[in-house]
Structure 1
Amino acid sequence: MRNALILMVGLLWPCYTIAQTTQSSFLRIYTEEYAPWNFTREDEVTGLNTELIQQLLDKLSLRGRFEIVPWGRAQLFTQTQADSCFFSAVRSAEREKLYQWVGPLSREYVQLFSTDPAHPKFNQFADAAELLIGGQTADAYTDYGMEQGLKIERIAEIPVNLAMLQLKRIDLWLAGSVGGPYIAAQKGIRIYPVASSADVFELWMACNLQVPEAVIDNLNRTLQLSKQDGTLDAIMQRYQE
């Protein structure tokens, strides 16, 4: 009986391994419209961080499906779908235990922007506490701004923030130091930073806790190699041209 049980386990083990590999070889990857890190171009999800993640998947023979959704929904899907991740996310203390992390993919500061080149500048965010700031729903940058004493109206979509800034329905817009100007320029809008965070924020890919740990480890290991072999530099160069 014992030998029969061992034989049965031996026969089933390869099947289990194949199933586990198949399950972990595909990832649903969510993000938002936040150029240049992640955005839609000609109905395809692209961007600096998107291309970097795709390179990691290719090197590991993993398949991924990228999808643009509202930022709050990206986080909800990743928490409730076992084979899912989202990016470009700040790795905050509140989020730390909710996900497994791959990164950092990139870095930027948080800034306050105006459409007026002559707008007074502030030494710190708290100096703008009397102004109405446009921020984003379920956003770590917005959380940071509120912790600094800013009065922020949370808005679901980034383009709406820009429109409200142009219409002067908000006084300033809170966004990343790289992403904010890039998005505005794509829409033909010139914005000017009037305050900057003292802290730099790293952007990561956050994955569901059920994604196999080996997949996360391999992604992180391959990411570090990509930073060393010039892959990341080559991608960044394309977005600076």
Structure 2
Amino acid sequence: MNFTRSAFLRIFTALVCLAGSYSSQAIAQPDLKIITEDWAPYNYEEDKVVKGLSTEIVQAIMDELGEHYPIHIYPGPRGDRMLDTEPNIMYFSIFRTPEREEKYKWIGPISDQAIYFYKHKDNPKSYKTVDDIKQASLVSVPYKGLVTDQVEAQGITNVIRLQSRERQLAMLFKDRAELAVNTSPLGVAYYLKQMGKSADSLVQTEVKLLEFPLYIACSKEIPDSAIERWQEALERVQASDNYANIYNKYPFLMDPH
């Protein structure tokens, strides 16, 4: 009887320790907050649902991990502040630039994208250098953010800042700006379709403003172990048929006419 009671106590103690170990591991997992901004077609909100190419990739990562967090969409400047000031933030889709490199931890790349200056198809001028851009009458740019910062860094001052990407591009159709720069070729195609304009109504110039890979930027407080798990899950997703299926949903969009 004493042996039985002693054995029972040892087994009970072992189970308690094991349960405590699992509990500690669960607690160690950070309570992540996944955020993004409105940047179609990578991440955007439609009918109160966050959608887009990057959104689907992030959701596929969570499916791979068996972890599911809601995705919240915020204006870009607010997302930047949250990433800089709050713990356990994951923010996509973010250009991984040298200036940002040491500020955050990174998961990716999700994709590589470049941003060019665009003109209306009826504009006969040729733009090959930044100096050509500086000679334009007016350049439509985002109100603030990385694109606008880079425009300023290039010494381009002949700009008008607007909040809406559609309004920025619309300036070219209204002949109120000579050039516009705000998003990638895929993004321009998306917004032209949303505006009911033909895919060839705007022409990409030879002047590239920037080109950096898109990543998930993460708060420094997130443990390296969590970053590694997400990175490994992303790589498994990228090696799967699902990744190609996601990309195939977002080709350059067809001419609406």
For 2:209 and 2:81, the matched residues in 1 are separated by 30
| 8 Å contact from structure 2 (residues 44, 73) kept in 1 | yes
Higher strand share: 1
Which residue matches 2:241? 230
Which residue matches 1:176? 184
Which residue matches 1:81? 86
Q: Which runs of 5+ in 1 are unaligned?
A: 1-9
1:42 aligned residue (47, 52, 60): 47
Which residue matches 1:191? 202
Within a 5 Å distance, the mapping from 1:130-169 to structure 2 comes to: 130-131=135-136, 132-151=138-157, 152-169=159-176
Which residue matches 2:7? none
Cα gap change, 1:156 to 1:208, in 2 (>3 Å): farther
1:57-88, Cα deviation, whole Å (9 max, x unpaired): 11112222222221111111122221212111
1:205 Cα offset (Å)? 1.1
| 8 Å contact from structure 2 (residues 37, 74) kept in 1 | yes
Which residue matches 2:62? 57
Cα gap change, 1:33 to 1:168, in 2 (>3 Å): farther
Compute the RMSD of aligned alpha carbons.
2.5
Counterpart residue identity of residue 193, structure 1: Q
1:13 Cα offset (Å)? 5.9
Counterpart residue identity of residue 114, structure 2: Y
| 8 Å contact from structure 2 (residues 64, 237) kept in 1 | no
| 8 Å contact from structure 2 (residues 141, 148) kept in 1 | yes
2:27 aligned residue (11, 16, 19): 19
* Count of matched residue positions in the alignment of Structure 1 and Structure 2: 230
Q: Which runs of 5+ in 2 are unaligned?
A: 1-16
| 8 Å contact from structure 2 (residues 108, 231) kept in 1 | yes
Greater alpha carbon shift after TM alignment, 139-148 vs 52-61: 139-148
| 8 Å contact from structure 2 (residues 34, 72) kept in 1 | yes
Larger radius of gyration: 2
| 8 Å contact from structure 1 (residues 120, 194) kept in 2 | no
1:138 Cα offset (Å)? 4.3
Q: Any idea what SS the aligned residue of 2:60 has? A: helix
Provide TM-score, normalisation by structure 2: 0.79
For 1:139 and 1:123, the matched residues in 2 are separated by 24
Matched, 1:218 2:229: yes
Greater alpha carbon shift after TM alignment, 148-157 vs 34-43: 148-157
Cα gap change, 1:115 to 1:69, in 2 (>3 Å): farther
1:87-146, Cα deviation, whole Å (9 max, x unpaired): 111111221122111111111221111233444231223311122222224422333333
Identity over aligned pairs, percent: 24
Q: Any idea what SS the aligned residue of 1:34 has? A: coil
Cα gap change, 1:157 to 1:74, in 2 (>3 Å): farther
For 2:209 and 2:144, the matched residues in 1 are separated by 22
1:202 Cα offset (Å)? 1.0
